[in-house]
């Protein structure tokens, strides 16, 4: 085999491996989300890219609080009306249902459950968080309107807990999303969760519930951390 042939062969192999890599990257995207051409109702052919057409890909921006007494008043209202997203991420979510029972009754503190991220302010990361769930948590967190709060339940969200060396769970939650209140324990009792809500209320009333702005400020850093651990990143960089 001549040197030229050899070079051609190597080049061909390189090209093939490149296309393979491209193909491998592409497989992360669901077929229905792939960039493609479709026929519009009026008969014209248009190009669509669902991931970028359906979602905003803009970075989040910091939203300035109001000034003085007004913000204090609004913070009081926010603290007394906390709507929690009904999304259990790990084993700790078993501690949430008792909160609506007569024994613990979180409603008397103004804490209510909401089924959609658009209407929620607080997000309980309940226990261990697998990488697969982290992806959904990020999407959900970014869809919640600001100001929003995160309560991290259990040791797993602090240092990985008993899953500290697991291949599939994350160890430190605040590397990926900003956390307002940690509730330590494995598992913390519902009373601990209520105490966490009380702490959150205190923080909000003091004007310290501004983690959504912190997320916007350090967006690139958070995104880099998230992308480091989520290998199959098949969503826009920011989900409105």
Partner 1 sequence: MTIYAKLGYTLLGLFIVLNWGFLMGATFRKIGARLAGRYGIPFYQPWLNLLKNISIRTTITHGIMYYIGPVFRLTGGVGLFLFMPMVFTGSPNGLWTNFSFEGDLILILYFQVFGMLGMALGAGQGGHPYSAMGIARGLAQHAAVELPLTLAFLSIAIQFDTFSVYKIVEAQQGGFENWILFTNPFAAATIILAMLGAMGHSPFNLVKAPNEILIGPATEFEGTYLGFMQSAGSILHVMEAVLFMNLVFGGANSWIELIVKTFLIYFWSVFVGMVFPRFKIEQSVTWFFKVPLLLGFLAIIIYSL
CA distances from 184 to 47, 88, 148, 168, 214 (A): 50, 17, 21, 21, 23
Tokens standing for 11?
A: 């080049």
CB 33 within 8 A of CB 55: no
Give the gyration radius of the chain's Cα atoms: 23
> Please, which residue, 111 or 125, has the CB nearer to partner 1?
111
Tokens standing for 240?
A: 């409105």
- Least separation in angstroms between CB 117 and partner 1: 9
- Least separation in angstroms between CB 39 and partner 1: 20
- Least separation in angstroms between CB 20 and partner 1: 36
> Please, which residue, 1 or 40, has the CB nearer to partner 1?
40
> Please, which residue, 83 or 233, has the CB nearer to partner 1?
83
CB 147 within 8 A of CB 210: yes
> Please, which residue, 30 or 227, has the CB nearer to partner 1?
30
- Least separation in angstroms between CB 194 and partner 1: 13
Judged by the rule CB under 8 A, the positions of this chain that interact with partner 1 are 63, 74, 77-78, 80-81, 83, 101-102, 105, 107-108, 110, 112-116, 118-119, 121, 145-147, 240
Q: Is the peptide bond before 147 cis (omega within 30 degrees of 0)?
A: yes
What DSSP string runs through 213-232? HHHHHTHHHHHHHHHHH-SS
Q: Is 185 left (phi over 0), alpha (psi -120 to 50) or beta?
A: left
> Please, which residue, 28 or 54, has the CB nearer to partner 1?
54
- List the end-to-end C-alpha distance of the chain, in Å, as a whole number: 57
> Please, which residue, 138 or 230, has the CB nearer to partner 1?
138
| The pairing of beta strand 82-85 with beta strand 111-114 | parallel
CB 118 within 8 A of CB 156: no
- Least separation in angstroms between CB 220 and partner 1: 20
């Amino acid at each position: 085999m001549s040197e030229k042939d050899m070079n051609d062969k190597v080049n061909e192999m390189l090209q093939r491996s490149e296309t393979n890599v491209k193909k491998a990257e592409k497989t992360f995207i669901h077929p229905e989300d792939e960039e493609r051409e479709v026929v519009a109702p009026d008969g014209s052919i248009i190009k669509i890219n669902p991931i970028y057409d359906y979602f905003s890909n803009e970075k989040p921006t910091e939203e300035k609080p109001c000034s003085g007494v007004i913000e204090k008043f609004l913070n009081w209202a926010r603290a007394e009306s906390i709507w929690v997203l009904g999304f259990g991420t790990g084993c700790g979510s078993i501690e949430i249902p008792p909160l609506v029972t007569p024994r613990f009754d979180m409603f008397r503190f103004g804490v209510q459950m909401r089924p959609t991220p658009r209407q929620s302010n607080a997000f309980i990361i309940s226990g261990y968080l697998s990488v697969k769930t982290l992806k959904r948590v990020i999407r959900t967190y970014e869809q919640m309107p600001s100001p929003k709060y995160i309560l991290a339940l259990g040791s797993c969200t602090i240092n990985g807990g008993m899953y500290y060396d697991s291949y599939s769970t994350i160890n430190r939650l605040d590397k990926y999303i900003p956390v307002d209140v940690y509730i330590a324990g494995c598992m913390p009792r519902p009373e601990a969760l209520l105490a966490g809500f009380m702490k959150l209320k205190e923080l909000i009333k003091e004007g310290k519930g501004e983690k959504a702005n912190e997320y916007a400020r350090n967006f690139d850093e958070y995104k880099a951390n998230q992308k480091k651990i989520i290998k199959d990143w098949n969503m826009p960089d920011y989900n409105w």
